Structure 1
Amino acid sequence: MNRLLTVACGLAISVGGMGAAEAAPSLPLAQPKAANLARMRAESLNGGLASYRAAACMYETGGSSCLISKSDQGFLFSFRGGSPGWELQSPPSPTLETRVLVSKNGERILAVPYNGPIP
């Protein structure tokens, strides 16, 4: 009886998990790497974490909300940032905008087309 119960529970867990896996959209493996690299470049350019925080979208897996385009050229991210805590202000008041192009394998910064005041 215990063995039957164990098999039934295992089957229920594996079948239940299948729906969750299918519901989540899959990202190219390079996209989370690219987002992390882009965010870290912005942090470096803007004084480090003591002085700068990127928008929350750059902390999402793959930075999907900040992804402007995905092409043969790579991943282009555009996001705002500012001093630590800027998103908690009411209203949020970012001071900088950054655009970063990362290679399609997510391993190299190809360009930083813009890093400066919000236009």
Structure 2
Amino acid sequence: MNLSTVSALALIFGAGTLSGASALAQAPVPASQIRALNLARNTAVTENGGLSVYRPQPCMFKTSDGGGECLVQDDANGYTFNFLGGQPGWPEDGSNPTTETELQVAPDGRSVTNIIYNGSPR
């Protein structure tokens, strides 16, 4: 095998690896979903007394995946989030959550359309 054959093979296999990686990449999270996540999190913080006494579940801070496990529905009615919350540090120190919040945000992510539940964990 000569140098040009090795170079050609490297190029072919390298390109195949790169194109395979691109195919596995996730689509970007829509801006409306990120707005909805931020609005839902901030609404829960306000409804539950502010950051000095309440922190939402960590998934509500994951803008890179649009809320991950906290996003329970995404349809024509908007975005529905369901998540736990509690005293600051509750997930890190192993404390139990004290609050569950479920709310729906408009499809454009700019307004809360329904606070479905905000109370003790169900």
Which band: TM-score by shorter chain? 0.7 to 0.9
Letter in 2 for 1:112: I
Runs of at least 5 residues in structure 1 that lack an aligned partner in the other structure: 1-15
Alignment match of 1:71 (pick from 72, 75, 81): 75
Corresponding residue for 1:117?
A: 120
Corresponding residue for 1:83?
A: 87
The CA deviation string for residues 20-73 of structure 1, in whole angstroms up to 9 with x for no partner, is 696133222200100000000000000000010000000001112201100111
Corresponding residue for 2:31?
A: 29
1:115 to partner: Cα distance: 0.3
Q: Determine if the alignment matches structure 1 residue 93 to structure 2 residue 100.
A: no
Aligned counterparts of 1:25 and 1:104: Cα–Cα separation in 2: 18
Q: CA RMSD in A?
A: 2.2
SS in structure 2 opposite 1:57?
Answer: helix
Aligned counterparts of 1:71 and 1:112: Cα–Cα separation in 2: 17
Corresponding residue for 2:41?
A: 39
> What TM-score does the superposition give when structure 1 sets the normalisation length?
0.79
Q: Determine if the alignment matches structure 1 residue 108 to structure 2 residue 111.
A: yes
Letter in 1 for 2:57: A
Structure of greater Rg: 2
1:89 to partner: Cα distance: 2.1
> What TM-score does the superposition give when structure 2 sets the normalisation length?
0.77
Aligned counterparts of 2:117 and 2:43: Cα–Cα separation in 1: 12
Runs of at least 5 residues in structure 2 that lack an aligned partner in the other structure: 1-17
Number of equivalent positions = 105
Deviation beyond 6 Å, 4+ runs, structure 1: none
